[in-house]
Amino acid sequence: MKFIAHRGNINGPNPLKENSTQYIDEAITQGFDVEIDVRYEDKVFYLGHDEPQYQTSLSWLVERKDNLWIHCKDLTSLNIFCSNPVDFNYFWHQEDDFTLTSKNYIWTYPGKECGPKSVLVMPEWNTDIDKLGSLKSLNCEGICSDYVGVL
């Protein structure tokens, strides 16, 4: 099972560091995959949930592509990744129950049913944090959470 640090978070939300390249690298170094929020504006890649916060490069993304789950935040970003020959794992969604990533994983909205190819997203929205460890026995591909360090 894959454990995916939501925006780089491992032991809870940290809005001051989320989506920064250093924070993402720390999570990868600790053995986690990371879900990141990406925008492409004026021929530049940016990380950031609600707005472009941290400028980054295509080479930075390529070097980490095997550990990144790229949430395209707008149509421009989605088009860039769709036309890129690098085998990134990317997706776009809002509040869909299920979204298929470019690598055919089922990105599953919090609280929705999951299956073997599903990534259960933000289970802490529906499960007490001290009970998250019990989710390891689920038959799913992965869990994306702000608390992957307790799983």
Output the pLDDT for position 134: 73
The count of structural domains within the chain is 1
Residue 18 gets which letter from DSSP? T
Confidence grade of residue 94 (pLDDT, cut at 50, 70, 90) = confident
What is the domain extent for residue 130? 2-150
- Burial level of 147, CB count in 10 A (0-12/13-18/19+)? buried
pLDDT in tens, 14-57: 999 999 999 999 999 999 999 999 999 999 999 999 999 999 99
| CA atoms in the 13 A half-sphere facing the CB of 7 | 19
